[in-house]
Amino acid sequence: MKKPEVLIVGAGIAGPALAYWLARNGYRPTVVEHARQLRSGGSAIVVKGPAIPVAERMGIVPRLREVATRNRSLTLLDPDGKRVLRLPTSSEGSPTVEVTRADLSEVLHRTARDDAEFVFDETVTALDQDEGGVDVTFRRSAPRRFDLVVGTDGMHSTVRRLVFGPERQFVSDLGLFGATVPLEPDAIDDPSELTMLTAPNRMLVVHPSRTTPLAIFTFRATRPEPHDRKNIALHKQTVADVYAGVRWRAPELVAAYLDHPAPFFDPLTTVRMPSWSRGRVVLLGDAAAATALLGDGSSMAMAGAFALAEELASHHDDHVRAFAAYESRLRREVRPRQRRVGLLSRLMVPGTRSGLLVRNTVGRAVGLTSRETADAKTG
């Protein structure tokens, strides 16, 4: 019998994970990625919660442990750079594992690449579906017909725009921005220590990562507008302006940001959609339901990939029921996380000195769950 053909758009975290599970469930996956190679950007993320059993079943936990960051503690600094408290960020025997986003993407891709066709430097330009399939037009390759299409193309999903409508309908800003830049290895003294300075409306983190430390700027601002997303000069100016009065290592870290040819910059947003599928097209990962700030996106993407492949296998020939079952399973995980985002953003980046004082006092009292704090760096 001919295997159903599924087009997966985006080879970040959700894309390769889904390709792996679909291939195991009797589907023929093709993954297109618009970048020329796997994207290498991103901070460290924690594989946790529902992603752990998925990683175990994929057999990738030993490899993830090999490439885990060495981050063991978090030091919080006040606006003057003075130490407020120090917390452990990992505990012996914990099943969670912190890796860089790039390492996770690479491990997932290696696991899936023999069973799926991966096409880089490619994207979709039109999706036209009927009762029996989806006709797909690509930027470079010849048009092809697929049984199903899955949009795993992240926060600014093209599949979502083509099938469901413009991004602004589904995205809510938290009023925060995330900006990151890689640093030279000698920019840190202790590879096991993550340092976080918080001033009103601004946070600055130095993360040791694994091989390349990272400076992470998370701040509240009213600009730039969404249409300025590709304006690198404006991003640099914004970071320079927002961190102008900040002490500690801010001048040196801002200089590193300004020196980089294409540093990361994006508003921190959540994606909320009334439905994740339309006909034969379904969304997965950040494209469907980004949970900015929590750093949970990768774990949600892995859990979602497993759930979608499993539901397609158990509702063979009935993608409508499969998509509905997948969505209802995943929404149970996503909903509570999205509800926490607003509160967490105010806790992470308080707007005033008194808010900061309260945050630090409460943090000391309750041992501010270090895992959450460490995970919520840039979203």
Ligand X SMILES: Cc1cc2nc3c(=O)[nH]c(=O)nc-3n(C[C@H](O)[C@H](O)[C@H](O)COP(=O)(O)OP(=O)(O)OC[C@H]3O[C@@H](n4cnc5c(N)ncnc54)[C@H](O)[C@@H]3O)c2cc1C
Q: Number of C-alpha atoms within 13 angstroms, CB side, residue 309?
A: 25
C-beta separation of 89 from 191 below 8 A? no
Site string for ligand X, 303-332 (x = CB under 6 A): ------------------------------
Burial class (CB within 10 angstroms; exposed 0-12, middle 13-18, buried 19+) of 132:
exposed
Is 45 a binding residue for ligand X by CB under 6 A? The answer is: yes
Minimum separation from the CB atom of position 254 to ligand X (A): 18
Is 333 a binding residue for ligand X by CB under 6 A? The answer is: no
CA 296, chain centre distance (Å): 7
Q: Applying CB under 6 A, which part among 31-39, 112-120, 129-137, 239-247 lies near ligand X?
A: 31-39
C-beta separation of 154 from 292 below 8 A? no
Q: Applying CB under 6 A, which part among 5-13, 167-175, 181-189, 343-351 lies near ligand X?
A: 5-13
- Phi, psi for 138 (deg, rounded to 5): -105, 165
Q: Which amino acid is at 222?
A: T
Region of residue 350 (left: phi > 0; alpha: psi -120 to 50; beta: else): beta
Give the position of tokens 């895992």: 371
Minimum separation from the CB atom of position 30 to ligand X (A): 12
Q: Which amino acid is at 163?
A: V
Q: Applying CB under 6 A, which part among 6-14, 72-80, 87-95, 107-115 lies near ligand X?
A: 6-14
The two tokens of residue 217 are 């700027």
The correct pick among 21, 54, 101, 243 for binding ligand X (CB under 6 A) is 101
The correct pick among 29, 213, 285, 363 for binding ligand X (CB under 6 A) is 285
The two tokens of residue 19 are 């390709």
The correct pick among 24, 28, 39, 144 for binding ligand X (CB under 6 A) is 39
C-beta separation of 219 from 244 below 8 A? no
DSSP label of 211: S
Minimum separation from the CB atom of position 218 to ligand X (A): 10
Binding-site size, ligand X (CB under 6 A): 31
The residue whose Cβ lies closest to ligand X is 12
Burial class (CB within 10 angstroms; exposed 0-12, middle 13-18, buried 19+) of 177:
buried
152 or 345, CB closer to ligand X? 152
The correct pick among 4, 154, 208, 267 for binding ligand X (CB under 6 A) is 154
The correct pick among 298, 338, 345, 370 for binding ligand X (CB under 6 A) is 298
242 or 376, CB closer to ligand X? 376
Question: What is the distance between the alpha carbons of residues 363 and 357, in angstroms, rounded to a whole number?
Answer: 10
Q: Applying CB under 6 A, which part among 149-157, 193-201, 234-242, 331-339 lies near ligand X?
A: 149-157
The correct pick among 7, 8, 9, 150 for binding ligand X (CB under 6 A) is 9
Question: What is the distance between the alpha carbons of residues 288 and 79, in angstroms, rounded to a whole number?
Answer: 37
Q: How many CB atoms lie within 10 A of CB 33?
A: 24
Q: Applying CB under 6 A, which part among 72-80, 147-155, 229-237, 331-339 lies near ligand X?
A: 147-155
Minimum separation from the CB atom of position 296 to ligand X (A): 7
Question: What is the distance between the alpha carbons of residues 161 and 183, in angstroms, rounded to a whole number?
Answer: 35
The correct pick among 4, 7, 21, 43 for binding ligand X (CB under 6 A) is 43
84 or 194, CB closer to ligand X? 194
Chain residues binding ligand X by CB under 6 A are: 9-15, 32-35, 39, 41-43, 45, 101, 123, 152-154, 158, 285-287, 295, 297-298, 301, 378-379
